[in-house]
Amino acid sequence: MPGLLHGVVAMKNLAVIRGGAAGIFLLTLLIPGNALSGESMIFSDGFESDNTAVQIAAVRLAPDGPANLSIANATVTYTKPLVGSDVAGFFVQSSKAGPALFIAVDPAVLTPQPVSGDRVSFIVAQMATSLGLRQATQISNFARNASSQPLAGLVQNVTAVSDLVSAVDTYESELISLNGVITGSFTAAGTGFEAAAINTTGISGDSNFRLRLPVTLREAEDLVTGCEFTLGPTPFWRALAQAQPSAWFASDIAATSCPAPSVASAVAQSTSSVVIEFSRRIDPSSIQPNGSQFTFDNGLLALAASVTGRQVILTTSAQVGGQVYQMLVQNTV
């Protein structure tokens, strides 16, 4: 088989699930009458087929609107909180190669409440598509079959993958991890969210490849252009043609390297105070209270300094109205 197959699924009696290296593929035969059992079957080629993955694929192919499709023994990979205009929900998957599905139903309204690592079964009663993302918006007969299932075997490291944008349909909602660098500025990406262009070893310079996270999380983690980060495991999000690797909690993302703070602005608030705005938050322990790390020309002296977030407030000697002062900040800040 030339090339790679990713998420190609034919319905009814034959399903070809995505391949690995060229010439290696997984052939799953969907046996009539056993399609909803969630049981695995072993074929002579040594590969294990996954009925649950076939069920998820069938649900993903269902049209928007009422449905009556079963998913049995799927693993809950992630529970997503309500943030801004994004609904709460959870993600299910069965195979590392996918497919996966977002269940746009608040876990808090279900009994038992699903958590990551649960193995669950349910019937999808309503399907919808939101900005390209397939999702089940109503389910019934929800049941937990097992709990504390390991998730490591479902995580795809997609750092070197090159088709995350061009084949976004085949990755959406799947559990991924990646290493990347933020290359653009953060801009609004839905109520309560921001997104910025990123590069990985697999994708560079694609404006449709963006890191997305809540504004509060981005501010808390102090992520800016130039930060290198690790992400995941988290489900692969998308918005129309944009691939949006996402974080919802602080545990989802970690900055491994970021640019040093730089001065964004300096504004006199009075004849004896100056507010300096930096590009990133300032470590309060790095600021000398006597202001000695800040020097001015034209005889102006820094007498004291305090810090709040990205701002350093300086107390200075008397400033002369209309006089222009240049300031030097030591790299110990």
pLDDT by residue (tens digit) across 151-195? Answer: 999 999 999 999 999 999 999 999 999 999 999 999 999 999 999
Half-sphere CA count of 241, side-chain side, radius 13 A: 4
For residue 238, name the pLDDT band (cuts at 50, 70, 90): very high
For residues 74, 75, 76, 77, the Cα torsion angle rounded to the nearest 10 degrees is -130
Q: How far apart are CA 332 and CA 287, in angstroms?
A: 8
What's residue 48's pLDDT?
37
290 and 272 Cβ atoms separated by less than 8 Å: no
What's residue 74's pLDDT?
98
User: What is the distance, to the nearest Å, from the Cα of residue 304 to the centroid of all Cα atoms in its chain?
Assistant: 41
- Classify strands 253-257 and 228-239 as parallel, antiparallel or unpaired: antiparallel
Cα radius of gyration rounded to whole Å, the chain = 26
For residue 36, name the pLDDT band (cuts at 50, 70, 90): very low
116 and 222 Cβ atoms separated by less than 8 Å: no
Q: How far apart are CA 184 and CA 227, in angstroms?
A: 10
Smallest CA-to-CA distance from 319 within 327, 329, 308, 309 is with: 327
Q: Looking at 31-45, 65-79, 151-165, 309-323, which range is the least confident one?
A: 31-45
Q: How far apart are CA 221 and CA 244, in angstroms?
A: 18
Q: How far apart are CA 239 and CA 234, in angstroms?
A: 16
Beta bridge partners of 49: 41
What's residue 71's pLDDT?
98
For residue 85, name the pLDDT band (cuts at 50, 70, 90): confident
Residue 154: DSSP 8-state:
G
Amino acid at 64: D
pLDDT at 63 over 60: yes
- Cβ-Cβ contacts under 8 Å for 178 (sequence gap 6 or more): 157, 158, 159, 200, 230, 231, 232, 245
Average pLDDT, stretch 32-51? 41
Query: How big is the CA angle at 226 (ends 221 and 227), to the nearest 5 degrees?
Result: 30
Look up residue 260 and give its two tokens.
Answer: 């040093």
Q: What is the pLDDT of residues 6-27, one digit of tens each?
A: 333 333 233 333 333 333 333 3
Q: What is the pLDDT of residues 243-276, one digit of tens each?
A: 999 999 999 999 999 998 989 999 999 999 999 9
* Three-state secondary structure call for residue 169: helix
Q: How far apart are CA 177 and CA 95, in angstroms?
A: 15
Tell me how far apart the terminal alpha carbons of the chain are, to the nearest angstrom. 58
164 and 178 Cβ atoms separated by less than 8 Å: no
The verdict on whether omega for the bond into residue 99 sits within 30 degrees of 0, i.e. cis, is yes
276 and 268 Cβ atoms separated by less than 8 Å: no
| Secondary structure element (H or E) that encloses residue 152, with its range | none
For residue 50, name the pLDDT band (cuts at 50, 70, 90): confident
What sign does the dihedral 112-118-121-125 (CA atoms) show? positive
pTM metric for this prediction? 0.77
